[in-house]
Chains A and B, each alone.
Chain A
Amino acid sequence: MSSFAHIQETLVSKYGVKPEVIKPEATLTELGLDSLSIAELMFDVSDHYEIEIPDERANFNTLGEAVALVDECVKAKGG
């Protein structure tokens, strides 16, 4: 199952991002986050899924890329 729904819900409830602007092709900067809050978001999501995202992989731009990375780490952990 994709992590999109969970990340979307976190962005809305904790980061105050308006639901209508959340689209896979949007960059996190376009959603109003800066480097520090992007790092915080990935921390929250990693915490939720109990995964570790390798530092060298944290070079995503869009929300869709972030979701794909999280999904990959979740799958790797499960497998």
Chain B
Amino acid sequence: MADAGARRRRVFVTGIGLVSPHGGEPDEVFERLYRGESAIRKVRTGTAELGGDALVAQAEFDPSGIIPKLQIVVMDRVSQMAVVAAHRALAESGLLADESGPADMGIYMGCGLGGSQALQDSYRIYFERRSRKPKPATVPLIMANGPAGHISLRYKLKGPSLTYSIACASSAAAIGEAFRAIRDGYLDRALAGGTEAMLNDGSVAAWEVLGVLAKEHADGPGASSRPFARDRTGFVLGEGAAVIALESEAAAQARNAAPIAEIVGYAGASDAHNLTQPAADGQVRAMRLALADAGIVPESIGYVNAHATATIAGDRIEIDAIKQVFAEHAHKLAVSATKSMHGHLVGAAGALEFAITALALNKRRVPPTANLTEPDPECDLDCVPCAGREMPDLAVALSNSFAFGGSNAVLVAKRV
């Protein structure tokens, strides 16, 4: 046991590992976002009869070199991306030695749908081939904790291995819960993040009928995700994994690890309102509780990485919630929606956006909301339109994640 029941300990981010629509190298991902570059493309999905074009943000991803073929055959894409992101986080933090991580490390992962390609494949065999013999590895391929299990196995991590599934806020909760375990002395270090890989026919069709996906914009696929814009039409599904290495201050100092940022607060709160429609009340409480958890006043916050998926109702509700929490200070905040460029990674969204927030603090520059040429008059905060911004005094930031099911998770990070 690390130091259970101890006074609150500081928790540092010491590594970031990404598999994202903008690539896998954190600094490069950040620069591409800072420049306002969209990774959203139009691709053909489905079968010959049912095919259609879909706007998606596919991850730049090649597992070869990190995962042997023998393991790939029993891993869904969702786990492959998680292992590669975990590998990069361990390597970047300096915790990877002889292909293993520290044995006492915990794993806190978020995932919305699990191995959705394997699920689709198994149903295809059952219903199309009328066979009761799907692939033998179907269950471990599909299970939601497959990614965490593979990370543990691969890097010999023997701390707690947990998987959180609260849709779009899954990985924000995973990071928050890992932060608490370390802060409160139950653990010295953890890998925390999320993964999602559901850009397959069946899943995309299910999202399409929900009526929340963006229509293609006249200026092309890259202009289609338009958070806070007057002409926004919904979100674009993305895929990827983001994993961060978290360590207690003492653990990081003992090995002279240079922190990228510090996590100082986290809270979750529920809307208890509607399964798919958000409510300002739950978001307000989540933000207030996270600020209280961090012990800081709202006026210390300089940047908010918004959840902002670009649905008509959702963006307005979030702006309203931010105004309620920050009052006059709301107009001094920089609020940006990076989903405008990397799409909505659902179970990996919170972790990718938290990683971007940590990098923004580290670099004192914030990424823009792309495509925000004409703002919705009701989204009247400074949403960093179209161009990234230098913020030399940026010290504390918020990352919002609000989910279907009415679950809200908010993380507070601080420059080190």
Contacts and interface: CB of A to CB of B under 8 A. Distances in A.
Interface of A: 14-17, 32-33, 36-37, 39-40, 42-43, 52
Q: Which 10 A-B pairs have the closest CB atoms?
A: A16-B69, A39-B136, A36-B74, A36-B137, A16-B70, A15-B70, A40-B73, A40-B137, A16-B68, A32-B70
Given A33-B70, A52-B133, 6 more contacts: A16-B70, A32-B70, A36-B74, A39-B136, A40-B74, A40-B136
By secondary structure, the B interface counts as loop
A9 B68 CA distance: 17
B135 A40 contact: yes
Interface residues of B, number: 11
B23 interface: no
Interface of B: 68-70, 72-74, 133, 135-137, 140
B140 A36 contact: yes
Contacts, number: 32
Contact of B69 (A14, A42, A43): A14
Nearest to B74: A36
B73 A39 contact: no
Contacts of B70: 15-17, 32-33, 37
A36 B73 CA distance: 10
Contacts of B74: 36-37, 40
Contacts of A33: 70
Contacts of B136: 36, 39-40, 42-43
Nearest to B68: A16
A16 B72 CA distance: 10
Nearest to B134: A43
Contacts of B137: 36-37, 39-40
Nearest to B139: A36
A42 B137 CA distance: 12
A14 B133 CA distance: 20
Contacts of B133: 43, 52
A28 B136 CA distance: 16
B68 A43 contact: no
Nearest to A31: B70
A16 B64 CA distance: 11
B72 to A, nearest CB: 8
